[in-house]
Amino acid sequence: MTASKLSRRGQISIALLVLAALFGASVAMAALPRDWHFASGRDFARGKLSGLALHQETGLTVAPGVKRTGVDAELIHCWARDGRKLWLGTGLSAKVFVVQGGKAKMVAKLPGVLVGSLVPDGKGGVFAGTVGRGKVMRVSASGKVEEVVRLKGVRHIWSLLIKDGTLYAGTGRGGGVFAIDPAAKTAKLYAETGAEHVMTLIADGDAIIAGTSDAATLVRITGEKKAQAIAGFPGVEVRSVTRLGKALYVAVNGGNTAAALSRLRATRRRPGGKGKIAVRRKKRKKRAIRGGKGAVWVRHDDGRINRLFISPNGMLTDIGASGQGVVAGTIAGGRVVIGDLQGNVMSLFDLDETQVLGIEMGAKGPKTLMTGKGAAVYSVGGAAKNPTYTTEVLRAGGVTRWGRIAAGGSGSLIVETRSGYSNPPSDTWSPWQPLANERSQSPAASYLQVRVRFASPDARLWELRIFRRPFNRAPSIKRLTIKPNKKLRTLRVTWSAKDPDGGRLGYILTYRKRGSTQWLMLHDRFYAKTSMTLSPRDMPDGWYELRVEATDAPNNTPSEALRTALISKPFLVDQGRPDVSAQVRDGMLTGVAADRVSNIVRVVVSFDGEPAVLARCGDNICDGRQEAFELKLPPDLLKGRHTLLIQATDEAGNTGVQRLVIGK
């Protein structure tokens, strides 16, 4: 019932002192289908890429194929190519492997837990630098191990380089570069870099370029004791350096350094296990352990330095360069990224292992990839088999119906979905099902996954929109209060409500006199606020109840709309004053105070304007609509003429007054 059906007097009595904010023509978001929208490289990167390359701007394409060879180790820390042989140095057991013909064979075990560096010795074997022992070892083709030299004052040998017949070693701590004569088994300090660790050495014309850790500098060494820093970077580590044209491309890490590997200890956890590798860390400054980001920087031969791109997957491990661009391995997510010379970044591979620790470049791009957690070698060639993109588990929040799935792309793309009620997915999920008329055939559930199979080599996916609409859930009302403002003689109504589906709610406020079955409306359309001020001064006196109904009708079709109601505690509307009737007889004031609606709560008497005195109700408690009261008068009031002011107050705060004159 609307306010127009109330009495004419009631229409003006129940006035809203705060106007309602009514819903306009705009439709609330909950009335529309929701969607998950994948439109950028960052969106797609949260899913699982199998045999796909990801460009940050242009989306997913089929990646080159890879063939995996497992290695019985936890990580591959270094590698060296000698013809058809690929030598690997591993941890955390300092083994040396040879990969040839698609098979990995362990050929030697070195002292310590990590092989820091390898370089071919020109005789079918390799020189190996150890971490933790400061030794250079020779491993022959047959696996024979001999110590070449132990560098005095050195614990870690991170990099080895043969240039002009001399073996050079980049070391730590101390950051020295040593020149070694393997035949004589002698060594001398060749140059100092001013850093803690020399992580990489490359030949660059007549010079040697050293990349350092804990200083993140590039140092050019042109002769014995002739070292000059040529670049410094924001970060703590230069992990890898390569040359392309007239510039050096540098992998710089801005957080934890690879030098922490020197504190690794052997573990029984197998490759790919869930446990973390144990690292003994010393206390370090905040700057040295904060973050974990990597970036590729360019140092041009004319001295200019600029950043090429930031790694989208954390710290960088190894880089290489070709006409395609600069390829970098990452320490998170098993990603190999490639950035062109304009700084555009693409994820080229997404491997099962989480760390890509080594990259061997060929003429047209990456040729071999080496990993950690666990250790494996991937040979790159041809096109990927069964390239597939799978979204992460998409959480809908409630039981949800799945709608149209729009895949923006080209070539042959096959889209499938599955749904369930657990994360991660289990056997209780529905099976993968293809779309029908671009619509998901998976049953309604709380979670969804979408899989896109690239069925042609030229297939490409740059956008994915997944529409959904949750089943409607009823709103809830948690609180409803009515507080009188005695000064303004109004009622303040407040409530709180929530739509579990996130939509806007409309409210219907009605009231009734207690005992009545008819609810009367206070407005004619959905009320939008969560408070209302009523002025009940012309409402008939009595006890009332207020009902607030919260509805999601503005967001749903009439057949699906739901509402929830909450009724207030009874509240009193009492505009009338109590009636008071009293008389004095034999020195005693007696009388009756009565109210039509509410209880009498107090009766006081004032003599000749003096402070009021509380009268006694008949049963010692003022708690009824009619209360007899009495008060024995002071002896001095029995003589002369006096004026008595008798006041009775009800629960609503209304006061009735009787003026009584006694004596002569």
User: Is residue 374 very low, low, confident or very high in pLDDT (cuts 50, 70, 90)?
Assistant: confident
| Lowest mean pLDDT segment, chosen from 143-157, 262-276, 398-412, 573-587 | 262-276
pLDDT tens by residue, 189-211: 999 999 999 999 999 999 999 99
What whole-number distance in Å separates Cα of residue 603 and Cα of residue 600? 8
Residue pLDDT, tens place only, 602-626: 999 999 888 999 999 988 899 999 9
Which of 25-34, 479-488, 501-510, 654-663 is predicted with the least confidence, judged by mean pLDDT?
25-34
Q: What pLDDT digit, counting tens, does each position of 121-132 carry?
A: 999 999 999 998
Q: Is residue 454's pLDDT more than 90?
A: yes
Under 8 Å between Cβ of 657 and 630: no
User: What would the mean pLDDT of 377-390 be, rounded to a whole number?
Assistant: 92
Q: Which of 130, 129, 125, 98 is nearest to 112 (CA)?
A: 130
Partner residues linked to 52 by β-bridges: 62
pLDDT at residue 414 in the model = 97
pLDDT at residue 10 greater than cutoff 60: no
Of residues 398 and 273, more confidently modeled? 398
pLDDT in tens, 136-179: 999 999 999 999 999 988 999 999 999 999 999 999 889 999 99
Residue 440 has pLDDT above 50, yes or no: yes
Average of per-residue pLDDT across 518-542: 87
**What is the pLDDT at residue 116?**
94
Q: Which amino acid, 182? A: P
Evaluate if residue 541 carries a pLDDT over 90.
no
Distance between CA atoms of 394 and 43, rounded to whole angstroms? 12
Average pLDDT, the chain: 86
Report whether 99 contacts 88 (CB < 8 A): yes
Q: Give residue 601's pLDDT.
A: 93
Share of the chain above pLDDT 70, in %: 89
Taking only the tens place, the pLDDT of each residue in 234-245 is 989 999 999 999
pLDDT of 258 over the 80 cut: no
pLDDT exceeds 60 at position 538: yes
What pLDDT band is residue 267 in, cutting at 50, 70 and 90? very low
Residue 95: the pLDDT is 95
d(CA 448, CA 390) in angstroms, rounded, equals: 11
Q: Can you tell me which residue has the tokens 């209880």? A: 599
pLDDT(275) > 50: no
Residue 4's φ and ψ, nearest 5 degrees, are -65, -20
Residue carrying structure tokens 């989208």: 312
Give the other-Cβ count within 10 Å of 599's Cβ. Answer: 17
What is the value of pTM for the model shown?
0.65
How much is the average pLDDT of 43-48? 90
If pLDDT is split at 50, 70 and 90, which confidence band does 283 have? Answer: very low
pLDDT at 473: 85
Is 50 exceeded by the pLDDT of residue 225? yes
- Domains along the sequence of the chain with CATH: 3-30+473-573 (2.60.40.10), 34-62+387-470 (2.60.120), 64-277+285-383 (2.130.10.10), 579-662 (2.60.40.650)
Q: What average pLDDT does the segment 93-120 reach?
A: 93
